[in-house]
A = this chain, B = another copy of it.
Amino acid sequence: MLFMVEMTVRIPQSLDPQVAEKIKADEKAYSQQLQREGKWRHLWRVAGLYANVSIFDVKDADELHALLTALPLYPYMEMKVTALAQHGSAIAQN
């Protein structure tokens, strides 16, 4: 099942820069692993913002929740989740 997730990152100025770099590196590695597994199907940057638009392909809302809350940047992210269905005019299957 597909979900659109819109993530906005707000890292507080008080966070130690080295800690921040470590978290971002972990985030990137974890994100790329999920992409290779096909669970994080698309990842786009919102131009100009520290934000992304993502499409997740998961079994259900429980798997989505587990994946998202395991993101290293999760404590610094604001999330918006939208459940997606097959569109009747789409030529591809979800």
List chain A positions with a Cβ less than 8 A from chain B: 1-5, 12-15, 27-28, 31-32, 35-36, 42-50, 52-53, 55, 60-62, 64-65, 68-69, 75, 79, 81-92, 94
Contacts and interface: CB of A to CB of B under 8 A. Distances in A.
Contact of A47 (B85, B88, B90, B92): B85
A2 to B, nearest CB: 6
Contacts of A3: 47-48, 83
Contact of A87 (B44, B55, B79, B87): B44
Contacts of A43: 87, 89-90, 92
B68 A48 contact: yes
A75 B82 CA distance: 21
